[in-house]
Amino acid sequence: MPEYAIRVATTADHHAVSNVLTQSYSRLMQPAYDASMLSRVLPLITQANPKLLASGLYYVAQDAEDALVGCGGWSPEQPGEDGSQQGVGHIRHFATHPDFLGVGIGRAIYQQCETQAIVAGIVRFVCYSSLNAEPFYTALGFNTVGPTTVRMSSGCVFPIMQMQRTIKSTWRFSGG
């Protein structure tokens, strides 16, 4: 099993995160979307979000050679908007390099997000999942709300699944 470490992303990770997003999305989305859709959407969704990178709420996974092999985070704001709803967080821009699938990187990054979100008072996560990622989020305990679409700046309408998960602290006071 490959070794990796999770850390908070920084703005200096922009290029490496964009590379992970490109490697992951361009390969893993092929079974779920046609080539025409991907050619219009991938240039938009494979660029690291500078605001997320600077937020302290976005994580990266580094392998033993310090290469980034996974990324993901959360925000109180809904993607593409500035407002937030009390107690609701949004899972954002998750990806694992295809050569590192199945070793727990996505789950480890998600656990970091959930732990941090609970401390921030978040009780529910909402996720806009690509069609191919729905099984990953289901395995994390997310429920499918239903299909929806996102209108991209290119004018393309991108089909996705809206998902959600109630989160709660497992911490218990043991008395004394």
- SS3 of 1, please? coil
pLDDT in tens, 5-54: 999 999 999 999 999 999 999 999 999 999 999 999 999 999 999 999 99
Can you give the pLDDT at residue 174? 44
- SS3 of 98, please? helix
Domains in the chain: ranges and CATH: 4-166 (3.40.630.30)
State pTM to two decimals. 0.91
pLDDT in tens, 64-85: 999 999 999 999 998 877 777 8
Q: How far apart are CA 61 and CA 26, in angstroms?
A: 19
For residue 163, which of 116, 110, 105, 112 has the smallest C-alpha distance? 110
